[in-house]
Every structure is written in structure tokens, then in C-alpha cells.
Amino acid sequence: MVPIQYNARSLMVRKVTTFAAAFGIALVVFVFAGALMLNEGVNRGLVTAGRPDVVIILRKGSDAELSSAISNEYLGLFRGPPQVAQAGGVIGEIIVVVNAERSDGSGVSNVLVRGTPADGIAFRPEIRITHGHAPRPGTDEVIVGKAISGRFKGLEEGGSFDLRRNRPLHVVGEFSADGSSYESEVWGDLDKVRNSLGREGVVSSVRVRLNSPSDFDAYRQTIESDQRFSMKVMREADYYAKQSEAIGRFLMIIGVVMAVLFSLAAMIGAAITMNGAVAHRVREIGTLRALGFSGRSILLSFLIEAIVLSVIGGVIGSVLVLLLSFVKFPVINFQTFSEIVISFQATPAVFWKALVFSGVMGLIGGLVPAIRASRVSPIEAMRA
């Protein structure tokens, strides 16, 4: 086995080529890790909005709240089964998507407005009023999620916007929701919102808090088998996980395609670097062979050198990608066609995947030069 110190010295001697190869790999890892962080951000933004003890009821045939409609008279029936928590266990809500002009003048986008009852905020413990106050029941007051506060004209404390023509809503506060997609919504009074829409007596969805997450199967069986209505029951977490699939898959495909294209260039660069190293170290390789090191030992030595070089680039890329944690990224929710703001989320899984990815690039890029080095004849090398 060739001493590791030999590889470390070789990398230090060739500072310029080592830095160039490592930096190229760092850029690839930056793109790859960024795609992973973006996917984690989508999952955090949507999936974390769901609670394990809460189920969501939609009309059968609807995939999202926006396309569902449930008569208000059913809410009492949903409270009936023994699995439902007695204190504030059921709320009905209505949602609508409105066009809003971006504050920076870059165009318009869709914003989701949620009409919720007086106990809708208390139903979700993660909701915190960060500025102003909660909307008063029966008024045209609304609160805006902090992720979109100020991003659109009128969507800031003290501002106003039209839900429909001549149906203004006035922003009286801002709220946070532990980074979930709720922070990309506007919340107002249920009756005020649906009256403005001309949909009195109807809600888009119903949320039910169960006594325990284990009561889900029994409650779903009770509701879905009831012949008085045609409903489907989902765990709230599963509902948001399904919503995140399309966005996450789309963003991940784009990120992975970019990373693959960049990685091909990085592997070619690593191969050129290592080939250049072999060409300039023919005498060193011949000396190693003359000292008794086998071709297999030299092959392994050059592979280790290429992998170490790539891992160094991977570490640099992983450090650089942490800067994306401060970036917020607007995307369109494919289920509601409204804009949600997500952030890049750094997790341990992102970094170990990035390091493994960089190591694989080094292995592939250094394999051919390593084979070439292992086949150098010691006699011919000493004559070179």
C-alpha cells in the first residue's frame, strides 16, 4: 500500500490544478445540494402543516380544498362519532385564490385566501400573531402570513385588497406558522369571505381533531360509509404530503438534471487533472514500482487521491450551499395554483448525500487515470 502522505504531498505540490479541480466539483455539489435543500424546503412548507391527530374531509372526487364544496349542514354530523375531540374538534373553512400585484412591479400572481371560523386560529397551536391582532368575527379584517407580507400590494399590515370588485378586505395583522405553507396565505372571517363570494352555507373542507391519531381508521370508516353524503377522509399530514409530491418532483428533476450535466463536466475535469498528474509523475510511478509497490497498490493510491480531491470539493460546496438557507423561493402550488414561499432547508441527509455524490464523481473521474498509472512499466518510466 502506497503511503497516504505521498498523495497528500502530491496534492499540495500541484496547488493550482488541485484548486481548479476541487472548485469545479464544489460547484457541482453546490447545485446538487441546493436541489436537495429546495426539496426539503417544499416538504417542510407543506407537510409540516399537517398534524397527526387532525383529519381533513373533502367531497369525494376532489383532490384539493379549492375544488371541494361541502354543505354546512354536515358539520354537525361530522362531530357525532366518538373519535372526535369534544373541545373545538371540528371546523369548516373556505378558500379562494385571488390575483395580486407584486410589490416590486414584476407582475401578478395568485394568493390563497382562507376563510376560517372564530376558533380556526386556536385550532392550530402553531399559529402566532406576530404583529397587529386577529381578525374580529363578522368583519372585513384579515391577517397575512409573514412569508408573503409585503410581497404583494396591499398585503401588509394597514393595507387592503379586493376579494371581489368593491369587496375590500383590510389587513390588521401578520402571523407565523412554524414555516409551513400557511405563512403564504391570507386568513379572514369565514362568513365574511363566503358571503363575498356568494357561497353562503358552503365550506371547502372540514378539519376534525381526533382524540388520538390511532382513531383515524375507525373515523374514516364511519364517515366514508355513511350513505347521507359522499366524502373522503384523509390524515392532514397525508393530504399535504400528496400536495408536495408534484412540486417536489418537478424541482428535484430540474436540480438533478442540472447536477448531472455539471457532474459530467466535473468528472471530465477530474480525469484530465489526474491524467496530467500521471503524465508528470511517470518517474515517480516507476520509482514506486521499482521499490516493490504493485500495480494494484498504485491503482488504489491514485483512486484515493482522486476521491480525496473530490471530497474536498464536496466539503467546499457543502459549506457554500449553507448560504442558500437565507434565501426564500416562491413557487406555484400545483393543487391550488397559488404562490407559496419556501426556503432552502439544510439537513444532515443533504450533506451526507452531497459528500457521497462528490466521492462517486471522484471515483468515476479518477478510475481511467488510475488504471493508466497502474500499468506504467517501471523500466520505461525510469528511462523517461
Let me know if residue 237 belongs to a domain.
Answer: no
pLDDT at 274: 63
235 occurs within a structural domain: no
Per-residue confidence band for 380, with pLDDT thresholds at 50, 70 and 90: low
Domain for residue 276, yes or no?
Answer: yes
One domain for residues 248 and 166: no
pLDDT tens digit sequence for 249-272? 776 677 667 767 777 766 676 666
State which residues form the domain around 27: 4-47+243-383
> Are both 100 and 126 inside the same structural domain?
yes
Residues 145 and 254 in one domain: no
pLDDT of amino acid 30: 85
Q: What is the pLDDT averaged over residues 22-32?
A: 82
pLDDT at 26: 84
Look at residue 114 and tell me whether its pLDDT is greater than 90.
Answer: yes
Q: What is the pLDDT of residues 167-198, one digit of tens each?
A: 789 999 999 988 888 888 999 999 999 988 88
Q: What pLDDT shows up at residue 333? A: 72
255 occurs within a structural domain: yes
Q: 247 and 221: one domain?
A: no
**What is the rounded distance in angstroms from the CA atom of residue 239 to the CA atom of residue 66?**
13
Average pLDDT over residues 54-71: 90
The predicted-structure confidence for 223-255, as pLDDT tens digits, reads as follows 999 888 889 999 988 888 787 676 667 766 776
Residues 170 and 115 in one domain: yes
**Do 123 and 172 share a domain, yes or no?**
yes
Q: Which long-range contacts (CB under 8 A, 24 or more apart) does 287-290 make?
A: 287/381, 287/382, 288/2, 289/376, 289/377, 289/378, 289/381, 290/378, 290/382
Cite the beta strand spans of 147-281 per DSSP E: 160-164, 167-176, 185-189, 202-203, 205-209, 231-235
CA dihedral 82→85→86→87, nearest 10 degrees, is 180
pLDDT tens per residue across span 118-168: 889 989 888 999 999 999 988 999 999 998 998 899 999 899 988 877 778
Please provide the average confidence, as pLDDT, over all residues in the chain.
Answer: 82
Q: What is the pLDDT of residues 317-370, one digit of tens each?
A: 899 988 888 887 777 776 667 777 777 888 888 889 888 888 887 787 777 777
72 and 98 in a single domain? The answer is yes
pLDDT at residue number 208: 94
Residue 150 has what pLDDT? 86
Verify that 257 and 357 share a domain, yes or no.
yes
**Of the residues 169, 194, 229, the one at which a domain ends:** 229
Please determine, for residue 66, whether its predicted confidence score (pLDDT) is greater than 80.
Answer: yes
Co-location of 74 and 216 in the same domain: yes
Count of domains observed in the chain: 2
Predicted local distance difference test score (pLDDT) of residue 217: 93
Entry field: residues in the chain: 384
Does 371 reside within a domain? yes
Check pLDDT > 60 for residue 280: yes
Give whole-number Cα distances, 36 to 126, 262, 311, 335, in Å: 26, 15, 18, 22
Give the Cα separation of 6 and 10 in Å (integer): 6
92 and 220 assigned to the same domain: yes
Q: Does some domain include residue 236? A: no
Confirm if 21 and 309 have CB atoms less than 8 A apart: yes
Asked, for residue 293, whether it belongs to a domain, the answer is: yes
User: Which of 173 and 10 is assigned the larger pLDDT?
Assistant: 173
Residues 306, 251 share a domain: yes
Per-residue model confidence (pLDDT) at position 47: 63
Domain stops at, among 177, 206, 229: 229
**Portion of the chain with pLDDT greater than 70, in percent:** 81
The residue with greater pLDDT, 287 or 136, is: 136
Give burial (CB, 10 Å; 0-12/13-18/19+) of 258. Answer: middle
Do 174 and 293 belong together in one domain?
A: no
Structural domain includes residue 142: yes
pLDDT at 384 over 60: no
Q: Last residue of some domain: 229, 254, 289? A: 229
Residue 377 pLDDT: 66
Question: For residues 88 and 104, what is the distance between their CA atoms, to the nearest angstrom?
Answer: 41
Instruction: Identify which has the larger pLDDT, 44 or 177.
Output: 177
